[in-house]
Structure 1
């Protein structure tokens, strides 16, 4: 007798559940692999998170054990396609427009006026959103710049926006957001810099060309050496990223960022992040705002 749908469903559920179980040894393998390739340090209490986020990748490949998935990553992924899919699955992408607004006020009140008052200053002004996620931070930077200096164009300011997650970068480059996501944008700026979706795009907004022209999205793993940038930056936003790294990786990244900042340039960190032991390179000038010495 053929099994009933109920029995089949239960069997499928059992198989799915088995894939959601990760042993301590499997977790250690994947945790070390993730750290080596991304710098992300996962503590023991992240075991359930790794299990849930990677379970879809196991199902995609028809695998029942995380040890089999580790073998796939190490031995059967010559082009790195699964590595990229794994990184996309494991990274956290939480962001909003004008998140931590004091950073944008600092740009408006200090950085952009200083640029405007010094016509002989090196052009263009370069900003780097070092973990841009879906792009809200980078477009917030562009709006802040255009509000401070409406005549800004690509010759005056360039915003580099990078992330390790290819999925979020594609969404960021499109410049399309739901109205819920756009609710953090002041109404006047929303009208000035975004188009309202019609028809199939009802409930969405899209960044106007004047905004997109200032932002350039590129894939970058912060662990990569050397970084491909050749010009130094006036401001780096690296917010809510370092919390995922261990202390040695944080220190290394701080020093590398100091190396790509101009003299007296600024580094913005997340509100829960702080810099310790690098007084030779940076001085605090505001809440989670540091200036290169």
Structure 2
């Protein structure tokens, strides 16, 4: 099955020296500009303290002061993998199981029956900003429930720009408290540890979900072009208007005719402006 994207290993960085531990305004502006160019994520000056806090610990672990570390990055002397560590540190990875639950109700009650009318041999779902995997595994639970009655096959691809959260998604281990949002009947898809402090998604569900690194700012996405459902929720809000439009246009190249696109509820106007047919709150169907 080709429904995957490539993931390459990173090299370790080489330490350097610095003398300051608070970023000058110009240094932050330059770093923010590079982050935006690479990820599409905007870092206004109001985020400066947050960025400093998240990068300072890592810089110290390398034996560097914060300014020296950022100067090293911006000078182009650091390996590419080091900038990925910056991306991992500053990205927002808010996610939950069954977040915005009406979308999963729509998926099960409307989208899947519509898609099955076309006798697709394999339903393909792409969680395009999957974070720690909670969304992808929620989708897997929802589809597993429907597949039991309707006998269809499905595969899920989860992608994200942050390698740290992808590692957790692949482990599929979560705090037990996080799993409380999962409805009682779906708890059969969870394995509990002896101390009951955490849970893990069962192997038969994990086998149906793949994870891979992907940057939405890339010109092309190494993903199949006949995906039935794409989830991209609460990500576009971090992009400016031209980037929002460009990302959605690239995503739509991978959506099968008649497929469904799920955006965050605060992002529904973006889909409307692209001429997509809205078939539910922040849910669109591709022509």
Q: Tell me if both proteins adopt one fold, taking TM over 0.5 as the criterion.
A: yes
Residue 249 of structure 1 corresponds to which residue in structure 2? Answer: 243
Q: Which has the higher contact order (CA 8 A, sep 6+)?
A: 2
Q: Distance in 2 between matches of 1:151 and 1:211?
A: 17
Residue 83 of structure 1 corresponds to which residue in structure 2? Answer: 83
1:195 paired residue among 184, 191, 197: 191
Corresponding residue pairs, total: 270
Q: Distance in 2 between matches of 1:247 and 1:275?
A: 11
**Mapped pair 1:58 → 2:56:** no
Secondary structure of 1:50's partner?
helix
Change (3 A) 1:150 1:73: farther
Alignment of 1:87-102 (within 5 A): 87-102=87-102
Q: Which piece of structure 1 moves more, 143-152 or 30-39? A: 143-152
Structure ID, larger Rg: 1
Change (3 A) 1:131 1:74: farther
Q: Distance in 1 between matches of 2:270 and 2:224?
A: 27
Q: TM-score normalized by structure 1? A: 0.85
Q: Which piece of structure 1 moves more, 92-101 or 121-130? A: 121-130
1:166 paired residue among 158, 163, 166: 163
> Contact (CA 8 Å) 1:38, 1:223: kept in 2 or not?
yes
Residue 216 of structure 1 corresponds to which residue in structure 2? Answer: 210
Q: Distance in 1 between matches of 2:244 and 2:82?
A: 26
> Contact (CA 8 Å) 1:103, 1:268: kept in 2 or not?
yes
> Cα offset for 1:212?
0.7
Residue 27 of structure 2 corresponds to which residue in structure 1? Answer: 26
Alignment deviations for residues 45-100 of structure 1 (CA, whole Å, 9 cap, x no partner)? 1122212121123212333243642333542223x121111111011111100000
> Cα offset for 1:242?
0.8
Secondary structure of 1:183's partner?
helix
Q: CA RMSD in A?
A: 2.2
Gaps of 5+ in 2: 1-18
Q: Distance in 2 between matches of 1:42 and 1:152?
A: 46
Residue 254 of structure 2 corresponds to which residue in structure 1? Answer: 260
Q: TM-score normalized by structure 2? A: 0.87
Gaps of 5+ in 1: 1-16
Secondary structure of 2:218's partner?
coil
Q: Distance in 2 between matches of 1:18 and 1:180?
A: 40
Secondary structure of 1:162's partner?
strand
